[in-house]
Amino acid sequence: MAPITFFVRESADWLPQALAAKSIDEQKLTQALSTEAQSVRTLLQQRGASFAADIQRVATLTKQQVQSALWELATAGLASADGFDQLRIMMDPKRKPLAAEPVANGTRRGTRSTAGRWSLFTEEEHRQLSVTEAAREQETAMLSHARMLLARYGVVFRDLIAREANAPRWRDLLGILRRLEARGEIRGGRFVSGFSGEQYALPEAVESLRMTRDLASEEIIGIAAADPINLIDIVVPGERIAAVAGKRVYFKDGVAVGSEGEPLSFEISPDKAVKRSAFSTVAIDPASRPERGGTPVRPENPGLFA
């Protein structure tokens, strides 16, 4: 099963560069794709976004051939659907597309289709860019990446994005993050202890850390293992749990626990022992950053985001 990502088109300026970084050589790609997939790819290049039924009609292929071809293009990172039903049907052929919703009295509320259209990610993949245009697109992609990561985590630093498969290199992000700090849009400092290097945070994230760092809670919070906030073995000490359907992780007072709140036992590998030796949240002003002569204020009760 291929990994599937959902993205918001309006904030997907990071996508073209991420696809380019993981692109497959055209010759190898042509050899790997079936005849039907190549035919559908060419059709989408010529006609643009199209419904599966239209692709089937124009390409003179069967419904099964079109679905197989589109799945090939999707798993190769070449095509995308702007609706859910297309992917759901491919993953579960027995699933029927949602066409209408019945109401209590037996009448139908009306058609509500989520089939959507299929299109290629990059319709201008062969166009030549000038040095200036390429630099501008790179900067736009970096800015989009930075804003997306800040919105997702609140606080961003090198170790945090280690598991982000599509994230650019940290040194490429730093320039954008420093620029955003200079503009006053984000804050720079040392917000999470136990990690070296620069850290940046949204102002609201800093305030949230200030408000919660001294609070203790006995409430057990469970989240899906696939949730981006599942930072066990990345920020929170513990053994990583696979991000698969049905798996859940639990936290109490910012610490990973069992489903009943019992402490978890785990071993820390030697390469992480120093880094994971002490965890606590630190919310400081940029003016109090150590490199600027300030002294961070640490909470009395260590605990990550607690």
The whole domain housing 114 covers 9-120
Q: Note the pLDDT of residue 188.
A: 94
Instruction: Taking each helix axis as running N to C, give the angle between helix 35-47 and helix 63-75, from 0 to 180 degrees, rounded to the nearest 10.
Output: 80
Q: Helix 35-47 and helix 52-59: axis angle, to 10°?
A: 110
In the chain, the amino acid numbered 181 is: E
Position 125 scores a pLDDT of 46
Residue 116 lies in a domain: yes
**Residue 24 belongs to some domain of the structure:** yes
User: Could you give the number of structural domains in the chain?
Assistant: 1
Q: How far apart are CA 44 and CA 50, in angstroms?
A: 7
If you search the block for the tokens 């000038």, which residue do you land on? 130
Long-range CB contacts (within 8 A, 24+) of 35-43: 36/61, 36/65, 36/66, 36/68, 36/69, 36/72, 37/68, 37/69, 37/72, 37/73, 39/69, 40/66, 40/69, 40/70, 40/73, 41/73, 41/78, 41/79, 41/120
Gap between the Cα atoms of 294 and 266, Å rounded: 36
Quote the CA–CA distance of 217 and 173 in Å, as a whole number: 35
Q: What angle do CA 300, 305, 306 make, to 5 degrees?
A: 55
Q: What is the pLDDT along the chain (306 residues), one digit of tens a residue?
A: 566 667 776 766 666 666 666 667 777 877 888 999 999 999 998 988 898 889 999 999 998 899 889 988 888 878 888 877 767 766 666 655 544 444 445 544 444 445 678 888 764 444 555 667 777 878 888 898 899 899 989 999 998 887 777 788 899 899 999 999 999 999 999 888 888 889 999 999 999 888 877 777 788 889 998 887 888 888 888 888 887 878 999 988 878 888 888 887 666 555 554 444 333 343 333 444 444 443 333 333 333 333
190-206 pLDDT, tens digit per residue, is: 888 888 889 999 999 99
- Outline where DSSP puts E strands in the chain: 79-81, 100-102, 108-111, 118-120, 155-157, 187-189, 199-201, 220-224, 248-252, 255-257
Give 72's DSSP letter.
Answer: H
The reported pTM is: 0.60
Q: Is residue 169 part of a domain?
A: no
Is residue 216 domain-resident? no
Q: What are phi and psi of 112, to 5 degrees?
A: -140, 85
Question: Does any domain span residue 269?
Answer: no
Output the pLDDT for position 268. Answer: 57
Q: Could you give the CA distance from residue 300 to residue 280 in angstroms, rounded to a whole number?
A: 9
Tell me whether residue 166 is in a domain: no
Confirm whether 272 is domain-assigned. no
**Tell me, what's the pLDDT at 179?**
94
Q: Return the CATH number at 52.
A: 1.10.10.10
Residues present in the chain in total: 306
Beta strand 255-257 with 220-224 is unpaired
Residue 53 falls inside a structural domain: yes
